Amino acid sequence: MKRRNFFKTAAVSSSVIAVSGFAGCQPEKQIKEAERNFTPFDFNEITIDDLQKKMASGELSSMEICQKYLDRINEIDPILKSIIELNPDALEIATQLDEERKNGTVRGPLHGIPIVIKDNIDTADKMQTTAGSLALEGNIAERDAFIVKKLREAGAVLLGKTNLSEWANFRSSNSSSGWSGKGGQVRNPYCLDRSPCGSSSGTGAAISGNLCAIGIGTETNGSIVCPSGINGIVGIKPTLGMWSRNGIIPIAHSQDTAGPMTRTVKDAATLLGALAEFDSEDAENHLGKGEIFSDYTQFLDKNGLQGARIGVATNMMGFNKNVDEIIKQVYRTLQENGAEVVEFEFENSRKTGRPSYQVLLYEFKADLNKYLQGHSNAKPKSLADLIKFNSENAAKEMPWFEQEIFEEAEKKGDLNEKEYLDALEESKSLAGKEGIDAELKKHSLDAIVAPTNGPSWTIDWVNGDHFGGGSSSPAAISGYPNITVPAGYVHGLPIGVSFFAEAWSEPKLLKLAYAFEQATKHRKAPEFIKSLT
C-alpha cells in the first residue's frame, strides 16, 4: 500500500467566487494570470496580535479587515482554488463584532479575527459541508460543529470554507492531493504546478498565500502536518480529544482531529487554546483525559530549547538528500540553542501501516454512515449510496481516479469484528505505548523530531501523487500531538520539521517549536511562481 494512503489518511463585497470542479488538462490556462506579482499585500504575514492592535487603536475595523481578505481572495483564488465557498454573512458578523468592541466588549484574542475552515466541518449557517464531493451538495448542517460553536463564542469571523482532497483523501490510492469534484485542484502558492499536499490542502494554501489570518484543517494521518509543511506554515495536530470531533465528516474516530494551521507558532497556540475543551458528546477516545488549557501562549519561550534532550529519528530520513541537509541544519540549530541531540532509529515506525489501514477502513464505513444518517440535508445516507452516486456521475467525480478505497471499506463488517479489534489494539500499541512512549523512555527524550515532508511534487492527475517521505504516522496513529514548523527550502519549496511526543504534551512541544521558530524564522511569503522550469 502506498504511503500516500495515510494522508487520506453571494458576494465578496458581496461576491461569491465560483469554483469549477473538473478542470481539464490545461494547467497553463489556469495559472497564466500568475505572471502578475501577487506577493505584496497590506496584511502580508500579519499576525493575530497585529490585527488586534489595529482594531484596538481604531485604525481598522473587523469589517474592513475581512473586506481586505475577501478582495485578496477575489484576486488570487481563481488561480489557487483554496477556497471552496465564502460565507455571505461574514461582513455582517464582523460589523456586529465591531459594535461589541465599540461598546467595550472584547471576547478574547480571536474577537473580529477572520478564519477559514476546512469544508468537512459543519456550520449551521448558509454554507454547505461537502468534503469536496458533489454528492453532498446541499448538505447544510442543522447545528454547528463543537469547535465552530467555540469559534463563534470566541468572536472569530467565519470567512469561508476551504477546498480539500475530496473525502479527506480517503477515496482512492491514485488520487491527486488537493483535488475535489466540487472545488477543483488546489495549487501550492510557492510554485503553482506543484502539490499542496493533502487533505487540508486548501487551508494550507490559503493561509500560506495570506488569503486569511488563520485557518483550521483536519487530520487522520498527515493531513494537517503535510499541507502545513509543504506550504511553509505552522500546523498542530492536537492530542486526540483536545478538540472535539463532533460535527466533522469523519474518516476514523480513533485517529481524527481538527487543528490549527497558521503562519506562526504563537497564532497556532492562540487558536489551539480557544477551541480546546472536552466534549461529552464526542466520539469515543482511547486516550485518557489529560490537562487542557485555555491559553497555550503561556508556554511559549524563546529559550525553550535550553536543556532539552531531543531525539532525531534517523530512519525517517534518507528519502531526499536535500531534506537530509536541512535536518542536519536543524540539529545544529537545536544544539546552538542549548538542546542535546540524540540520533536513534524509531523501531516501530514501519510496523503500524497494515493494522492502521484496516482500522481506517472499518471506522470509515461505520463513522461515515452515522454522520450521513444524522444530517437530514445530506442526500446520500450511506457509503453504499456514495459509491452509487460516484459511479453514476463518474465524468465529474472520477475523471482522474476512482473509488477503490470506498469499495474496500464497504466490504468491511461492523466494529465488533475480531479483525478490527485486533488491528485497533495492535496499531495503537505499536505507535503509542511500544512506539513513541517507549522511545522517549529508552533514550530519555523530551521530544522527537523528523522531517515533516519532502519537496512538493508536480501535480499529476493521470498518475496521482508521488509523495516523497514524512513522519506523521506515529503521532497520528497513537493520537499523540505533532507540531510542524518551517525548517528550510529545497529549490524554493518549503520543508517542515515535526516535533512530537507523548499524549497531552502540547505545552512542552509548543515551547520547543516556538524556540526553534524564533531562532530560525524560516517562514517567508510565497511568490506564486508558475513553475521551477
Contact of 145 with 121, CB cutoff 8 Å: yes
Query: Rounded to an integer, what distance in angstroms lies between the CA atom of residue 421 and that of residue 417?
Result: 6
Active site residue 176: no
**For residue 302, what are the CA distances in angstroms to 224, 262, 448, 520?**
24, 19, 19, 11
> How many CB atoms are closer than 10 A to CB 24?
11
Considering the candidates 199, 200, 201, 208, report the single residue annotated as catalytic: 199
SS3 498: strand
What one-character DSSP code corresponds to residue 171?
S
Considering the candidates 118, 365, 412, 508, report the single residue annotated as catalytic: 118
Active site residue 118: yes
**Cis link prior to 200 (omega < 30° from 0)?**
no
**For residue 195, what are the CA distances in angstroms to 164, 222, 319, 323?**
12, 14, 18, 17
Residue 218's beta-bridge partner residues? 258
Q: Calculate the dihedral angle through the C-alpha atoms of 236, 237, 243, 245, rounding to the nearest 10 degrees.
A: 140
Give me the sheet containing 482-490, strands edge to edge: 83-86, 157-162, 114-118, 214-219, 257-262, 234-237, 482-490, 493-500, 447-451, 309-313, 340-344
- Going through 238-349 in order, the beta strands assigned E by DSSP cover 257-262, 309-313, 340-344
Listed residue (208, 116, 130) closest to 162, CA to CA = 116
Contact of 470 with 453, CB cutoff 8 Å: yes
Please count the CA atoms within 13 angstroms of the CA of 233 that sit on its side-chain side.
40
Considering the candidates 82, 172, 223, 478, report the single residue annotated as catalytic: 223
- Copy the grid coordinates of residue 472: 506523521
Residue 261's beta-bridge partner residues? 215, 235
The two most distant CA atoms of the chain are separated, in Å, by 62
As separate numbers, helices (DSSP H) first and strands (DSSP E) second, the chain gives: 18, 13
Per the listing, cell 471576547 goes with 107
Enumerate residues 6+ apart whose C-beta is below 8 A from 37.
Answer: none
Active site residue 201: no
Query: Rounded to an integer, what distance in angstroms lies between the CA atom of residue 21 and that of residue 128?
Result: 16
SS3 472: coil
- Residues taking part in catalysis: 118, 199, 223
